[in-house]
Amino acid sequence: MPIIAPSLLSANFLNLQKDCELLNESEADWFHLDVMDGSFVPNISFGLPVIEHIRKATNKICDVHLMIVEPAKYAEAFKKAGADILTVHYEACTHLHRNLQQIKSLGMRTGVALNPHTPVQLLADILHDIDLVCLMSVNPGFGGQQFIPHTLVKIRQLKQMIEERNLHTHIEIDGGVTLQNAKSILDAGADVLVAGNTVFKAEDPIATIAALKAL
């Protein structure tokens, strides 16, 4: 069964506790938390105080996706805020190996995100240090974009790399995931579906999560 990670970026921030309670009652596995700095990506989202409060509101895994420059500066702070998985962007890390060792030493699972046109082959030498690869299937920064079809090719390539090395690295897909394309994404080899508008803009978010989980 897939891991379902609703993106709180699409939640109602005036009713954030209500949306957290909704996810707690649902079959969602993880909370996906997008942190944007207005520099690495053009948008600004939320930061440490919001994550601290979300951590107190759930026992589910907090999957924190840093779309920021110099993520190493903040790794310890995000651990204290409650991150279980900390994902940094390949494009933002000059010293990726060092960044991943830092995340591991703090007791978090390691994630690396790739922008839509960053080849998965660039992770070949470091894949054994990565617990989760987040493939961006839209250009990062804003929710509600259309899924980029070439992502399916990247999923298959990455899945082959993982299997050739006998690893258990999760493949997470972030951006444009819908009930219509989720099965093809999973069939290509993905393990984790990040869904924002698909969940929070649905008439029945809990039923939508259940439908994704059942694929």
Q: What percentage of the chain reaches a pLDDT higher than 90?
A: 97
Helix, strand, or coil here: 204?
A: coil
Where residue 32 falls among pLDDT bands split at 50, 70, 90? very high
Predicted confidence at residue 143, as pLDDT, reads: 66
pLDDT, tens digit, 9 for 90 and up, residues 58-114? 999 999 999 999 999 999 999 999 999 999 999 999 999 999 999 999 999 999 999
The residue ranges of every structural domain in the chain are 3-213
Q: Over 80: is that where the pLDDT of 189 sits? A: yes
Q: What is the Cβ-side half-sphere exposure of residue 21, based on CA atoms within 13 angstroms?
A: 4
**Angle, in degrees to the nearest 10, between helices 16-25 and 48-57:** 40
| Integer angstrom CA distances of residue 182 from 14, 62, 87, 204 | 29, 22, 22, 18
CATH of 3-213, one of 1.10.1240.10, 3.40.50.300, 3.30.450.260, 3.20.20.70: 3.20.20.70
CA distance 189 to 155: 6
Range 52-63 average pLDDT: 98
Residues recognised as catalytic: 34, 174
Q: Cα–Cα–Cα angle for 99, 193, 150, nearest 5°?
A: 85
Report the amino acid identity of residue 186. L
* Residue 195 pLDDT level (bands cut at 50, 70, 90): very high
Tell me what the pLDDT averaged over the chain comes to.
97
pTM reported for the whole predicted model: 0.97
pLDDT number for residue 145: 81
Query: Is the pLDDT reported for residue 141 higher than 90?
Result: no
DSSP, residue by residue, 31-94: EEEEEEBSSSSS-B---HHHHHHHHHH-SSEEEEEEESSSGGGGHHHHHHHT-SEEEEEGGG-T
Is residue 192 scored above 70 in pLDDT? yes
